[in-house]
């Protein structure tokens, strides 16, 4: 139903090879090639495919955790290949009961691995496969030992372009060709889903390739790698002493988290261990300062107070470029992983920032001898403009996507110290302005802010954040049910629900109706949504 490029070679081979095969079990069986025969497909700019039928029995069938509980993985045809020059992907095609739909996953961080199975990770595709999607995931054009590695991009413009955007239409093109060859028909609906860099890919998909997908899920998007490079430099410098050592003791994050929650919890009108919108609260860490020159785990030193004050105040806009991104209040419990690592550990955000600065965000990469702390934040970083244009996914003009009937659901944790909430909200505000106001934006794009949630796959968080985004998007695309609120749950670790709470289409927020349990979403309504413009 969408415009797409078809390889003549595929169609010819499909006609030649699509002899009637042995009857397959199950309903809605594929009408095209056998799985193994997919290896013979010739597709433009694609290395030969490897195709294997993966069948399970009752004793070895994997069970996949999903937001709706655990579900058994269906038998599938596994297709692996590379689009030239080296974009690797894995496509999984249900052997029976294909739902007639196509799902593509984006990849997190700087990608570099094909991670079809990793539970909860946005690169993984089993969450779609168990819904009988034909589902594909990719490494975005390079191999890397981990998602924070950037060496692959060292003065390699081709790899950088593949990683940024070329991967999206190319993998979709080849996956669609294989799907059509296998099932004997095109898909009826198509979806893209990603978080972090995968969210950036989703945003880029609706900006650059508006007719590629019917529905797109965009989680905590890394919309602008230049801003995140500057932000990483700034949070790192703010936390360093003159000898280059980190100042803030990671063991004090719990103390700080408790103090912020105690101070800000009621700012939303409900003392419930959640901060609905951190912008409604200000907190001065000096209230935790140790007396005199004391130090101890139950108070902050003067220099630690200064670090946290800088982080909460935000990256100074010393050059008029409009950056004032802050480390969000309420994100403290995630800091040891991202910003305040234990001794000997680098901190995930510093790892990403380091690779960004060395290999990814400069037109001429400075390489391994450079560090984020070498960046001069007092002047406009003209040297980052060139690569910014290659990576950025912040174009608010979504007219073409809206015109095709496409739908997009954005989601973002309010306590995400990596993909900063204000960057996502800032982009949403730009879209709302460009697209003619709230009502017109609501017709095709909605943003859901998640109180208490950190970055993407760190879920579950200690707050109601469990929902099934695919289901939300399916309902909108296929049944015209636009999401006004999403009732999210918080699990107790054994499958039971501790509490539920609505997530509201931004700028709406969950408001307690005044009666009944505050742990039950049905006692809340979404309020504060802007009407009209
Ligand atoms: Ca509260």
Tell me, in angstroms, the distance from the centre of ligand 1 to residue 402's CA: 36
Beta-carbon contacts of 514 under 8 Å, excluding residues fewer than 6 positions away, are none
What's the number of CA atoms in the CB half-sphere (13 Å) around residue 130?
22
Q: What are the distances in angstroms from CA 429 to CA 197, 220, 438, 533? A: 20, 15, 9, 11
Tell me, in angstroms, the distance from the centre of ligand 1 to residue 312's CA: 19
Tell me, in angstroms, the distance from the centre of ligand 1 to residue 22's CA: 61
Q: What is the pLDDT of residue 49?
A: 87
Tell me, in angstroms, the distance from the centre of ligand 1 to residue 464's CA: 13
Give the β-pairing of 215-219 and 189-195: parallel
Tell me, in angstroms, the distance from the centre of ligand 1 to residue 487's CA: 17
Tell me, in angstroms, the distance from the centre of ligand 1 to residue 240's CA: 33
Tell me, in angstroms, the distance from the centre of ligand 1 to residue 276's CA: 6
* DSSP code at position 522: G
Final residue in a domain of this structure, among 390, 425, 456:
390
| 173 and 233 belong to one structural domain | no
Q: What are the per-10-residue average pLDDT scores of the chain (533 residues)?
A: 39 39 51 93 94 96 88 97 97 97 98 93 94 98 97 97 98 98 97 98 98 98 95 94 93 96 95 94 96 91 97 85 85 94 89 97 97 92 95 98 98 95 95 97 98 84 89 98 96 86 96 96 86 38
Beta-carbon contacts of 259 under 8 Å, excluding residues fewer than 6 positions away, are 283, 285, 287, 288
Tell me, in angstroms, the distance from the centre of ligand 1 to residue 264's CA: 7
Tell me, in angstroms, the distance from the centre of ligand 1 to residue 113's CA: 39
Q: What are the distances in angstroms from CA 345 to CA 7, 67, 198, 339? A: 49, 32, 25, 10
Q: Residue 116 in contact with residue 124, Cβ under 8 Å?
A: yes
Q: Residue 201 in contact with residue 194, Cβ under 8 Å?
A: yes
Residue 226 has φ and ψ, to the nearest 5°, of -65, -45
Tell me, in angstroms, the distance from the centre of ligand 1 to residue 257's CA: 14
Tell me, in angstroms, the distance from the centre of ligand 1 to residue 461's CA: 16
Tell me, in angstroms, the distance from the centre of ligand 1 to residue 118's CA: 33
* DSSP code at position 533: -
Tell me, in angstroms, the distance from the centre of ligand 1 to residue 405's CA: 37
| 149 and 78 belong to one structural domain | yes
Tell me, in angstroms, the distance from the centre of ligand 1 to residue 277's CA: 9
CA 42, CA 362: separation in Å to the nearest integer?
Answer: 37
Is residue 494 domain-resident?
no
Q: What are the distances in angstroms from CA 347 to CA 68, 421, 532? A: 33, 19, 43
Tell me, in angstroms, the distance from the centre of ligand 1 to residue 450's CA: 13
Tell me, in angstroms, the distance from the centre of ligand 1 to residue 283's CA: 15
Residues with CB in 5 Å of ion ligand 1: 265, 268, 270, 272, 274
| 135 and 245 belong to one structural domain | no
Tell me, in angstroms, the distance from the centre of ligand 1 to residue 265's CA: 4
Tell me, in angstroms, the distance from the centre of ligand 1 to residue 530's CA: 21
| 137 and 3 belong to one structural domain | yes
Is residue 265 domain-resident?
yes
Quote the tokens at residue 117. 């199975």
Beta-carbon contacts of 200 under 8 Å, excluding residues fewer than 6 positions away, are 106, 194, 221, 222, 223, 225, 391, 393
Is residue 502 domain-resident?
no
| 181 and 256 belong to one structural domain | no
Q: What is the pLDDT of residue 168?
A: 98
Cα angle value 271/277/280 (rounded, 5°): 85
Tell me, in angstroms, the distance from the centre of ligand 1 to residue 278's CA: 10
CA 66, CA 247: separation in Å to the nearest integer?
Answer: 40
Final residue in a domain of this structure, among 335, 355, 390:
390
Tell me, in angstroms, the distance from the centre of ligand 1 to residue 414's CA: 13
| 302 and 356 belong to one structural domain | yes
Identify the sign of the CA torsion 456, 461, 463, 464: positive
Is residue 436 domain-resident?
no
CA 239, CA 509: separation in Å to the nearest integer?
Answer: 33
| 149 and 286 belong to one structural domain | no
| 152 and 282 belong to one structural domain | no
Tell me, in angstroms, the distance from the centre of ligand 1 to residue 272's CA: 5
Tell me, in angstroms, the distance from the centre of ligand 1 to residue 268's CA: 5
Identify the sign of the CA torsion 329, 330, 332, 338: negative
Tell me, in angstroms, the distance from the centre of ligand 1 to residue 263's CA: 10
Tell me, in angstroms, the distance from the centre of ligand 1 to residue 11's CA: 58
The torsion of the CA quartet 17, 21, 25, 28, rounded to 10 degrees, works out to 50
Full domain range(s) for residue 293: 227-390
Tell me, in angstroms, the distance from the centre of ligand 1 to residue 442's CA: 27
Q: What is the pTM of this model?
A: 0.93
Is residue 216 domain-resident?
no
| 163 and 244 belong to one structural domain | no
Tell me, in angstroms, the distance from the centre of ligand 1 to residue 451's CA: 9
| 164 and 251 belong to one structural domain | no
Number of domains the chain is built from:
2
**Size of the chain in residues:** 533
Tell me, in angstroms, the distance from the centre of ligand 1 to residue 334's CA: 19
| 264 and 378 belong to one structural domain | yes
| 174 and 240 belong to one structural domain | no
* DSSP code at position 402: H
Which residue in the block uniquely carries the two structure tokens 């004997």?
A: 184
Q: Residue 375 in contact with residue 361, Cβ under 8 Å?
A: no
Tell me, in angstroms, the distance from the centre of ligand 1 to residue 262's CA: 9
- DSSP track, 32-57: S--TGGGGG---TTBPPPEEEEE---
Final residue in a domain of this structure, among 390, 425, 443:
390
Q: What is the pLDDT of residue 209?
A: 98
């Amino acid at each position: 139903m969408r415009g797409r490029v078809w390889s003549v070679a595929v169609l010819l081979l499909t006609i030649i090879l699509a002899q009637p095969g042995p009857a397959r079990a199950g309903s809605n069986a594929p009408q095209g090639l056998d799985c193994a025969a997919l290896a013979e497909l010739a597709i433009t700019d694609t290395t030969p495919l490897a195709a294997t039928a993966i069948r399970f029995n009752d004793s070895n069938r994997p069970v996949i955790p999903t937001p709706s509980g655990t579900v058994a993985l269906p038998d599938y045809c596994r297709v692996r290949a590379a689009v030239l020059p080296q974009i690797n992907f894995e496509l999984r095609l249900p052997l029976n009961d294909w739902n007639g739909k196509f799902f593509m996953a984006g990849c997190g961080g700087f990608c570099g691995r094909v991670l079809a199975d990793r539970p909860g990770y946005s690169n993984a595709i089993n969450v779609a496969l168990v819904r009988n999607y034909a589902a594909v995931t990719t490494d975005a054009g390079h191999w890397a030992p981990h998602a924070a590695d950037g060496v692959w991009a060292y003065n390699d413009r081709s790899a950088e372009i593949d990683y940024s955007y070329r991967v999206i239409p190319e993998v979709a093109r080849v996956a669609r060709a294989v799907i059509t060859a296998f099932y004997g028909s095109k898909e009826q609906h198509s979806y893209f889903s990603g978080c972090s860099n995968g969210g950036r890919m989703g945003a880029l998909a609706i900006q650059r390739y508006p007719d590629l997908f019917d529905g797109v899920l965009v989680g905590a998007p890394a919309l602008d790698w230049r801003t995140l490079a500057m932000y990483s430099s700034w949070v790192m410098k703010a936390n360093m002493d003159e000898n280059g050592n980190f100042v803030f003791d990671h063991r004090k994050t719990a103390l700080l988290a408790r103090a912020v929650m105690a101070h800000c919890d009621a700012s939303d009108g409900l003392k419930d261990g959640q901060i609905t919108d951190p912008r409604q609260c200000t907190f001065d860490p000096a209230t935790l300062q140790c007396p005199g020159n004391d130090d101890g785990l139950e108070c902050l030193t003067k220099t630690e107070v200064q670090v946290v004050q800088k982080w909460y105040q935000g990256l100074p806009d010393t050059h008029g470029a409009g950056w004032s991104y802050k480390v969000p209040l309420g994100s403290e419990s995630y800091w040891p992983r991202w910003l305040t690592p234990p001794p000997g550990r680098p901190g995930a955000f510093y790892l990403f920032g380091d690779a960004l600065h060395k290999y990814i965000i400069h037109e001429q990469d400075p390489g391994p001898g450079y560090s984020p702390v070498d960046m001069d934040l007092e002047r406009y970083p003209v040297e980052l403009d060139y690569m910014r244009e290659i990576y950025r996914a912040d174009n608010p003009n979504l007219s073409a996507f809206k015109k095709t009937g496409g739908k997009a659901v954005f989601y973002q944790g309010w306590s995400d110290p990596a993909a900063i909430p204000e960057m996502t909200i800032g982009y949403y505000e730009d879209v709302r302005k460009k697209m003619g106001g709230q009502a017109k934006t609501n017709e095709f794009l909605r943003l859901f802010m998640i109180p208490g949630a950190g970055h993407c796959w760190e879920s579950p968080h200690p707050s109601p954040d469990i929902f099934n985004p695919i289901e939300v998007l399916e309902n909108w695309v296929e049944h015209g049910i636009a999401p006004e609120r999403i009732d999210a749950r918080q699990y107790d670790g054994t499958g039971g629900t501790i509490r539920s709470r609505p997530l509201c289409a931004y700028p709406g927020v969950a408001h307690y109706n005044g009666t009944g349990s505050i742990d039950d979403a049905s006692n809340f309504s979404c309020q504060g949504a802007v009407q009209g413009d």
